[in-house]
Amino acid sequence: MPSEVRTIFIGGEWSAAQSHDSLEVRSPTDGEVFGAISRGGKPEIERAVDAARAALAGPWSTTAGFERGRIMSKLSALILDHLEELAQLEARDTGKPITQARTDIRATARYFEFYAGAADKVLGDVLPFLDGYQVTVQREPRGVCGLIIPWNYPASMFGRTIGPALATGNTVVLKPAEDASMSCARLTALAHEAGLPAGVINLVTGLGEEAGAALSQHPDVDFLSFTGSPEVGTLIQTAAARNHVPCVLELGGKSPQIVFDDADFERAAQTIVGVITQNAGQTCSAGSRVLVQRSAYDRFVGMLKARMSAVRVGAPEADLECGPVINRTQAQKVQGFLDRARGDGIDVIAQGSLDRSAVRTGYFVLPTLFGPVPTTHELAQDEVFGPVLAAIPFEDEAEAIAIANGTAYGLVAGLWTENGARQMRVAKKLRVGQVFVNNYGAGGGIELPFGGVKRSGHGREKGLEALKEYTVAKTVVLRHG
């Protein structure tokens, strides 16, 4: 391993960790080490927050919204100029098929394009009040934002969090996941090539329990955004509470796909299998439960069986439907769910197959369809975060809604029916942050507010709604007589 790894970016300069320690980066495809990142910790977080604070007080604070937008537009264009380079890096780091990686990089560029256009449109209000007074409500940046992002979509999460933060005039300290930091480092370099002042974006690579914990606990951070597990989310929110800092948490889901007997079965089956196998099922909004009306259960599950059986799993360059999971720990976790379900007597309806590009040392898991799955079983309740789909029959609307809402999560739901009145009735009763009717995911949904309820977290990302999270309202009351 190189003795001097420099993947920490603070105040416009690349550096190694103060300790000179680094962490190996392994490819999910074959388990081999192909790089290293700096093992940043508390000292690096301290310097990064100081740099972000200084940048906040510098020229960035007086940069007009349209000027921030121009820089972000340039960054969007640079990302597209380097699309193939970034996609190859993302595919190698995460194991996802190269087509999925390219889609993620395009989404990253789209985030900066979208928020570039919004940067000079963060509007306030004028409030009616007493005669002789003028009252305005202004939206101001929160300040230094600590962003802790996961390993499943590192590039697009870079855009999803940093885009609205910059559009609203904040500065950031980004802590990417230690399992997938490579694209974030390259995007950081491109951001400064686009013209961002030093200190506006600071990147600290390292372990979550070291660098991530130090960032969430830092008393001079004004806002926190975290995407990850509910367990770590609890630690983040606890740290934020100690410093009276607001936070946005996106903590996963157990999202249902509800299929009624009048649905377009072909489209539903294609979408549902595609969603659960995308990124090897490592998607917080993956529709991991498919609820099928009993009158159509055998027919529709038969269609799912045919599609799941046709899924091939392989290396990124093979560009198949599914790649490996991120690491050995995740592979063992997902395999544990599969083994316990079989041990509990739940039938395996279908499994995908390994392509010859899937080497033995890679972290490959076969996409699997189980059913019927009892609603109390862990496959119907817990987030597997792998390509595992649980089929569950239901009788009518009331039972479908009860099953759909019957987990600790509430992130996304898919609803498949041609009945317009039913679409509205069911959508209103689902306790989730997003409902997709006769579609799912909507092309990345950059414009669509995203977030959950219950154990899925709180706050909203994406769309114009995210601008509210990264700003604070200030009321100004002027007496003019």
Q: Give whole-number Cα distances, 237 to 72, 188, 398, 462, in Å.
A: 30, 26, 35, 20
8-251 classified as CATH 3.40.605.10:
yes
**Does the predicted model carry a pTM greater than 0.95?**
yes
Question: 135-187: per-residue pLDDT in tens?
Answer: 999 999 999 999 999 999 999 999 999 999 999 999 999 999 999 999 999 99
Written as one letter, the residue type at 108 is T
| Domains of the chain by residue range | 8-251, 256-446
Work out whether strand 412-416 and strand 256-259 pair parallel, antiparallel, or are unpaired.
parallel
DSSP label of 330: H
Q: Look at domain 256-446 and name its CATH class.
A: alpha beta
| Rounded Cα distance, 125 and 239, in Å | 33
Give yes or no on whether 8-251 and 256-446 have one common fold: no
Question: 224-257: per-residue pLDDT in tens?
Answer: 999 999 999 999 999 999 999 999 999 999 999 9
* pLDDT for the residue numbered 1: 41
The token pair at 169 is 């005039």
Q: Specify whether 250 is catalytic.
A: yes
Question: 310-354: per-residue pLDDT in tens?
Answer: 999 999 999 999 999 999 999 999 999 999 999 999 999 999 999
Question: 179-215: per-residue pLDDT in tens?
Answer: 999 999 999 999 999 999 999 999 999 999 999 999 9
| Rounded Cα distance, 166 and 171, in Å | 7
Pick the catalytic residue: 250, 321, 383, 461? 250
* pLDDT for the residue numbered 442: 74
Question: 365-422: per-residue pLDDT in tens?
Answer: 999 999 999 999 999 999 999 999 999 999 999 999 999 999 999 999 999 999 999 9
* pLDDT for the residue numbered 271: 98
Q: Give the confidence band of 2 by pLDDT, cuts at 50, 70, 90.
A: very low
* pLDDT for the residue numbered 3: 59
| Rounded Cα distance, 259 and 302, in Å | 13
Question: 9-30: per-residue pLDDT in tens?
Answer: 999 999 999 999 999 999 999 9
Q: What is the mean pLDDT of residues 86-115?
A: 98
- Whose structure tokens read 């380079």? 85
Work out whether strand 368-370 and strand 388-394 pair parallel, antiparallel, or are unpaired.
parallel
CA angle 296, 297, 300 (to 5 degrees): 80
Q: Decide if 172 contacts 145 (C-beta within 8 A).
A: yes
Number of alpha carbons in the 13 Å side-chain half-sphere of residue 218: 29
Beta bridge partners of 154: none
